[in-house]
Amino acid sequence: MQENRGGVQLRTFAFIDRMQPQYAAFMGTMMNGDMPIAGQAELYVEVAPGNAIYRIADIALKSADVRPGMQLVERQFGILELHSRSQEAVRAAASAMLEDLHLAEEDRLAAQIVSAQVISNVDPYQAQLVNQMRRGSLLVPGEAMLVMEIAPAGYACLAANEAEKAADIKLVSISSIGPAGRIILSGTESQIQAARQAVIQAIGALRGRTGPPGQ
């Protein structure tokens, strides 16, 4: 396991160049800080130990014109979301964080797709069960549904945004906190297959160190 001199483990380090409309709206339901809007760039960071996120946030906010949407410390991990209309500002904040940690972007955990399932012609009863836990669009009976589990959890945000870029899908749910994350999308069979392929390509392109799924 690679760690910097301060013992901080970089788990998720995900840059999103342009937040899509559904994705930005969904993230707004999760934020307790500055609300993101579609078209902005975003950085989603997860570290261990969790308390390290306070210094990381301080460095980022003092180094560039970015706004924090979320700063969260849970039992094991610390999470920070930053966004700005300027991609350059988000990248500058990212660089400042990495420099302070004495880490490179490639020292993050590599993203892994733990599981991916396509459900065709969703049953009305299952649709009702899924809709009980969603913050996004309603899952309608008869649609196709894509459920993907991704580790570490923060990469679920990147996956959801890339899926929306690639296909005219509905974003039902994103879970981006914990050992592993999950996205649920719905649409036609062809839209769902296009979204699935886009996520596979995006996750596969991320460079990082290997670790057990859900580490």
Q: How confident is the model at residue 76 (pLDDT cuts 50, 70, 90)?
A: confident
CATH of 112-204, one of 1.10.1670.40, 3.30.70.1710, 3.90.1150.10, 1.10.8.100: 3.30.70.1710
Asked if the domains 9-107 and 112-204 are classified in one and the same CATH topology, the answer is yes
Q: Do 33 and 83 form a contact (C-beta atoms < 8 A)?
A: no
Distance of CA 36 to CAs 32, 40, 59, 82, 164, Å? 11, 7, 20, 9, 16
Structure tokens at 170: 């509905």
CATH number of 9-107: 3.30.70.1710
Query: Is the confidence at residue 2, as pLDDT, over 80?
Result: no
pLDDT of res. 22: 97
DSSP state of 107: G
Neighbours of 83 (CB within 10 A): 28
Per-residue pLDDT band for 215 (boundaries 50, 70, 90) equals low
Percent over 90 (pLDDT), the chain: 89
Which residues make beta-bridge pairs with 80? Answer: 45, 71
Give the model confidence (pLDDT) of 155-169 as tens digits.
999 999 999 999 999
Q: Parse the chain into domains and list their residue ranges.
A: 9-107, 112-204
Give the pLDDT of residue 5. 47
H or E segment and range at residue 196: helix 189-204
Question: Which candidate, 100, 101, 115, 91, places its Cα nearest to that of 14?
Answer: 91
